[in-house]
């Protein structure tokens, strides 16, 4: 394992920038935080579990980066207001926000309770809105900035995860609206939609979901799962100066999975094809951990 993140972006790209990453204590958020820190940003990790945030901040510092953290339930309006205020009191401003926190569980629509529905929408939609609104009102309205919302592969619906699909679709609409309303303040708002990504988030599903999860790659034209680093690279691009005329966009990172159609004989790539430079996996995250479901 290399001691440093192998980012394709220029060292120092985000030097002296303060970037907030929600859900930064695990999975894709942890990877994003590491890459941003490796590029010079001071990363502020947000999450509900202080221990996870502490551990990831420790990893970043051990790798030579800058990180701090705040425990925050992003679903609670007053807590979000106070947390953003505390960040600005320390750093003076917030340059970028990555709305990554999220979660869902497998269940058909008819079995979802109102409480379960509200919980998933609260985390995946309302919480992201509250974080973006407060970062805008308390800093970006005056100084500008960039926001990236992490959504999901909702094209063609999300059977057995209808609560998450509804929330992510709402976040896509919010992204487009915020891009239009906040542009006059020098703020860009985009989204990244990961498809099937091999991250620790898969370990939250019940053991009986293991066989299904391991087979999902066969529904992806590129024939594999994506990596956390491939998702992170899309986020970094949208936050970078190279994305300065991109706003209100959703960048899919999904190996063309939504293009699969019934009746079309999809062919899986050969092992040789999967190793060609244009499509072979990018594993830039030096601290990546293989999900338990793939270790069996």
Convert the pLDDT of each residue in 36-52 to its tens digit. Answer: 999 999 999 999 999 99
pLDDT of residue 263: 80
Count of domains in the chain?
A: 1
Phi, then psi, of 43 in degrees rounded to 5 = -95, 130
Is 239 part of a structural domain of the chain? yes
158 in Cβ contact with 200 (< 8 Å):
no
Strands (E), the chain: 18-22, 42-47, 66-71, 96-99, 145-150, 187-194, 250-253
- For every residue of 125-182, DSSP letters joined together read IIHHHHHHHHHIIIIIHHH-EEEEEE----TT--TTBHHHHHHHHHHHHHHHHHHHHH
- From the list 259, 250, 275, 234, the residue with the least C-alpha distance to 28 is 234
pLDDT at 3 over 80: no
How far apart, in whole angstroms, are the C-alpha atoms of residue 90 and residue 180? 30
Q: What is the CATH number of the domain that holds 29?
A: 3.40.50.720
191 in Cβ contact with 145 (< 8 Å):
no
Q: Please give the average per-residue pLDDT across 44-72, as a whole number.
A: 97
Which range marks the domain in which residue 40 is found? Answer: 18-207+225-262
Burial of 265 (0-12, 13-18, 19+ CB in 10 A): exposed
Is 166 part of a structural domain of the chain? yes
3 in Cβ contact with 59 (< 8 Å):
no
| Tokens linked to 286 | 């030096």
Residues 152-187 pLDDT 10s: 999 988 888 899 999 999 999 999 999 999 999 999
Is 278 part of a structural domain of the chain? no
| Percentage, residues of the chain above pLDDT 70 | 98
Is 279 part of a structural domain of the chain? no
Question: How far is Cα of residue 225 from the mean position of the Cα atoms in its chain?
Answer: 16
Angle at CA 274, nearest 5°, toward 273 and 280?
125
pLDDT of residue 296: 61
Q: Show Cβ contacts of residue 135 under 8 Å, excluding neighbours closer than 6 positions.
A: 20, 84, 94, 97, 145, 147
Residues 260-289 pLDDT 10s: 887 888 888 998 998 999 999 999 999 998
Is 108 part of a structural domain of the chain? yes
Is 218 part of a structural domain of the chain? no
Is 120 part of a structural domain of the chain? yes
| Tokens linked to 53 | 């945030």
Q: Which residue has the tokens 């190279």?
A: 242
Question: How far is Cα of residue 267 from the mean position of the Cα atoms in its chain?
Answer: 29
Is 72 part of a structural domain of the chain? yes
């Amino acid at each position: 394992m290399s001691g440093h993140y192998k980012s394709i972006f220029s060292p120092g790209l985000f030097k002296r920038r303060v970037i907030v990453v929600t859900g930064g204590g695990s999975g894709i958020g942890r990877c994003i935080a590491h890459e941003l820190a490796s590029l010079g940003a001071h990363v502020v990790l947000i999450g509900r579990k202080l221990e996870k945030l502490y551990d990831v901040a420790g990893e970043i510092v051990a790798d030579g980066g800058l990180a701090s953290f705040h425990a925050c339930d992003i679903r609670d309006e007053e807590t979000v207001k106070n947390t953003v205020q505390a960040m600005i009191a320390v750093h003076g401003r917030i340059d970028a926000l990555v709305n990554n926190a999220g979660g869902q569980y497998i269940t058909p629509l008819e079995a979802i309770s109102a409480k379960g529905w509200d919980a998933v929408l609260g985390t995946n939609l309302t919480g992201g809105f509250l974080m973006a609104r407060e970062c805008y009102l308390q800093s970006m309205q005056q100084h500008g900035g960039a926001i990236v919302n992490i959504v999901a592969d909702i094209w063609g619906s999300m059977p057995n995860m209808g609560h998450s699909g509804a929330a992510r679709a709402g976040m896509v609409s919010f992204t487009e609206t915020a891009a239009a309303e906040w542009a006059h303040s020098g703020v860009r708002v985009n989204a990244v939609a990961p498809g099937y990504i091999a991250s620790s988030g898969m370990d939250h599903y019940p053991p009986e979901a293991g066989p299904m999860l391991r087979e999902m790659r066969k529904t992806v034209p590129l024939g594999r799962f994506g990596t956390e680093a491939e998702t992170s690279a899309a986020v970094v691009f949208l936050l970078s100066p190279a994305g300065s005329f991109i706003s209100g966009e959703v960048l899919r990172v999904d190996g063309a999975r939504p293009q699969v159609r019934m009746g079309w004989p999809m062919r899986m790539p050969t092992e040789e094809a999967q190793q060609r430079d244009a499509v072979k996996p990018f594993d830039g995250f030096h601290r990546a951990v293989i999900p338990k479901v793939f270790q069996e």
